[in-house]
Chain A
Amino acid sequence: MRQLHRQWCGTAPLVLVLCLGLGADTSLAEETPAGVETPQEVAQQQDSPPQVEASSPDPTGGATSNANAGPEAVKPPAREVCHDDEDNDGDGLIDCDDVADCLAFATCGWILGGWVWIWTIFGVTLAALILYAWFITARLRRARSEETPHND
Chain B
Amino acid sequence: MNQAFEKEHVVGALGALMLAVGCWLALFVVPPMVNFGDLGRPLFIHVPTAWASLLVFTVAFVIAIIALRKRTRGWDAALASSVEVGVVLTALLLFQGMFWARPTQNFWWTWDPRLTLSAVMFVSFAGVLSLRSFAEGLHRRIMWTAVSTIIAYVNVPLVYFIVKITDRGIHQEHSTPQTVSDVYHLALRLNAFAMLFLAYWLIARRSRLILAVQGGADAGPPAPQDGPELVAGVEG
Contacts and interface: CB of A to CB of B under 8 A. Distances in A.
Contact of B103 (A24, A117, A125): A117
A146 B94 CA distance: 37
A105 B106 contact: yes
B contact residues, range: 35 or more
Interface of A: 6-7, 9-11, 13-14, 16-17, 24, 26, 28-29, 32, 34-39, 42, 46, 104-106, 111, 113-115, 117-118, 120-122, 124-126, 128-129, 132-133, 136-137, 139-140, 143-144, 147-148
B42 A24 contact: no
Given A13-B94, A24-B111, A28-B107, A121 B100 contact: yes
A10 B107 contact: yes
A35 B49 CA distance: 20
A125 B168 contact: no
Contacts, number: 156
A64 to B, nearest CB: 27
A122 B45 contact: yes
A146 B98 CA distance: 42
B39 A17 contact: no
A128 B88 contact: yes
B37 A125 contact: no
Contact of B38 (A10, A38, A114, A120): A114
Interface string B194-209: 0000100110011011
B14 to A, nearest CB: 14
B223 interface: no
The listed residue with most A CB atoms (<10 A of its CB), out of B37, B109, B122, is B109
Nearest to A19: B109
B39 A34 contact: no
Contacts of A36: 35-36, 104, 170, 172
Contacts of B27: 118, 122
Main secondary structure, interface of B, reads helix
Contacts of A24: 109, 111
A35 B39 contact: no
Contacts of A17: 119-120, 123
Given A29-B110, A121-B45, A125-B92, A39 B167 contact: no
B169 interface: yes
B108 A7 contact: yes
B105 interface: yes
B39 A29 contact: no
19 contacts: A9-B108, A13-B95, A14-B122, A17-B119, A28-B106, A29-B107, A29-B112, A29-B169, A34-B172, A36-B35, A42-B106, A104-B103, A106-B37, A106-B39, A106-B104, A125-B95, A126-B23, A133-B205, A140-B208
B106 A38 contact: no
B42 A137 contact: no
Interface in B145-188: 167-170, 172
Interface in B75-112: 88, 91-92, 94-96, 98-100, 102-112
B212 interface: yes
Contact of B119 (A16, A126, A148): A16
A144 B39 contact: no
A108 B100 CA distance: 15
A118 B109 contact: no
B93 to A, nearest CB: 9
Contacts of A111: 103
Given A125-B49, A140-B205, A10 B37 contact: no
